[in-house]
């Protein structure tokens, strides 16, 4: 219940703020990409909110395996990341990604992430 | 290894599709996502490659069907619904409107939740029929 509430809050309240940031950056005509810190923070938040991870300590260097996530869980997390950043991770990349760091690195090199 | 990747890719693909076509209809979306996760878990121990191939094909077919043959109808007023077409919607089609959760039709299900701000329902030509359990849970 609380979790679903936090999801609603996430989608309705936090997201417009982040996209607003992206919009402002774009307005200045400079780098439209998200900052490294923001990407890291958001990825950590998404992973932390995943059912099986709740209550565990998540850091950028953690692997999905260390969090007790199997390949299906990892796929689930990646889809949540895709949704949040408005991107699509190609199949080959998704097969390769097995840690938060790899996820973050992929988003960093994806200019359309928002 | 390749087969393993195909399974995972079909899973990602199906979740993606569901998030897209059931967008904003949180109740149905959660049901469908839950169903998908559960079914993949249930079939996790299948070792027969032929059977796995079949399951992957099935998942991809469901994903494709949802993407092309399902249109969300969002209730805007007592008598008016807005159909949400998207770029993958197959328009050369007659769609069956499924608008009552209580009378469970053979094919399909709907999600009518009074508490939701936007009431949405799904109408399609049978996509929902592949997820019979969901419909039962809904009603």
DSSP per-residue letters across B25-94: -HHHHHHHHHHHHHHHHHTTT---HHHHHHHHHHHHHHHHHHHHHEEEEEE-SSS-EEEE--TT---SSP
Residue in B12, B42, B88 to test binding to A, most A beta-carbons within 10 Å: B12
For residue B23, the tally of other CB atoms under 10 A from its CB is 14
What are chain A's domains?
Answer: 1-31 (no CATH), 33-114 (1.10.1200.10)
Residue B86 has pLDDT above 80, yes or no: yes
Question: Residue A61's pLDDT is what?
Answer: 92
CB contact A72 to B (< 8 Å): yes
Over residues B5-57, the pLDDT tens digits come to: 999 999 999 999 999 999 888 888 999 999 999 999 999 999 999 999 999 99
Q: What is the dihedral of CA A44, B41, B131, B70, to 10 degrees?
A: 40
Measured in whole angstroms, how far is the alpha carbon of residue B102 from the centre of its chain?
Answer: 18
Given an 8 Å threshold on Cβ–Cβ distance, is B12 in contact with A95?
no
**Which range has highest mean pLDDT (B95-99, B107-111, B129-133)?**
B95-99
What is the pTM assigned to this prediction?
Answer: 0.71
> Confidence band (pLDDT; 50, 70, 90) for A38?
very high
Is a pLDDT exceeding 50 seen at residue B97?
A: yes
| Nearest C-alpha neighbor of A43 from the set A4, A92, A89 | A89
**Subunit contact A94:B8, Cβ cutoff 8 A:** yes
- ipTM of model over 0.85: no
Q: What is the pLDDT of residue B115?
A: 39
- Candidates B8, B26, B30; nearest CB to A75: B8
Residue B121 has, within 13 A of its CA and on its CB side, a CA count of: 20
Model confidence pLDDT, tens digit, residues A52-102: 999 899 999 999 999 999 999 999 999 999 999 999 999 999 999 999 999
Token pair 């290894």 in the structure block, residue: B1
Cβ-defined contact of A79 to B41 (cutoff 8 Å)? no
| Whole-number Å distance between alpha carbons of B86 and A32 | 27
The C-alpha atoms of residue B134 and residue B26 are separated, in whole angstroms, by 13
Pairwise pLDDT comparison (B74 vs B14), residue with the higher score: B14
Neighbours of A92 (CB within 10 A): 9
- Selected residue with higher pLDDT from B120 and B73: B73
**Is pLDDT above 90 for B134?**
no
Looking at residue A20, its pLDDT comes to 46
Of B61, B67, B48, B47, give the one whose Cα is nearest residue B10. B61
| pLDDT score of A112 more than 70 | yes
- Cβ-defined contact of B12 to A91 (cutoff 8 Å): yes
Q: Which residues pair with B111 in a beta bridge?
A: B120
A48 confidence band (pLDDT: 50, 70, 90): very high
With an 8 Å Cβ cutoff, is A91 touching chain B?
yes
Chain A environment of B44 (Cβ under 8 Å): 72
């Amino acid at each position: 219940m609380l979790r679903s509430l936090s999801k609603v809050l996430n989608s309705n309240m936090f997201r417009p703020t982040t996209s607003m940031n992206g919009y402002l950056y774009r307005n200045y005509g400079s780098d439209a990409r998200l900052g490294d810190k923001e990407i890291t923070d958001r990825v950590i938040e998404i992973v932390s909110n995943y059912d099986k991870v709740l209550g565990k300590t998540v850091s950028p260097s953690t692997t999905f395996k260390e969090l007790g996530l199997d390949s299906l869980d990892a796929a689930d997390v990646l889809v949540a990341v895709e949704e949040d950043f408005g991107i699509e991770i190609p199949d080959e990349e998704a097969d390769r990604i097995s840690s938060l760091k790899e996820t973050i690195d992929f988003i960093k090199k994806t200019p359309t992430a928002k | 290894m390749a087969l393993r990747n195909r399974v995972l890719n079909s899973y990602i693909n199906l979740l993606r599709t569901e998030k897209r076509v059931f967008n904003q209809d949180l109740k149905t979306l959660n049901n469908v996502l839950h169903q998908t996760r559960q079914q993949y878990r249930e079939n996790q121990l299948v070792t027969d490659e032929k059977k796995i191939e079949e399951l992957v094909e099935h998942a991809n077919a469901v994903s494709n069907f949802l993407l092309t043959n399902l249109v969300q109808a969002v209730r805007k007023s007592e008598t008016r619904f807005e159909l949400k077409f998207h770029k993958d919607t197959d328009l050369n089609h007659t769609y069956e409107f499924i608008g009552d959760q209580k009378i469970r039709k053979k094919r399909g299900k709907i999600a009518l939740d009074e508490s939701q701000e936007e009431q949405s329902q799904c109408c399609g030509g049978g996509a929902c029929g592949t997820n019979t359990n969901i419909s039962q849970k809904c009603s």
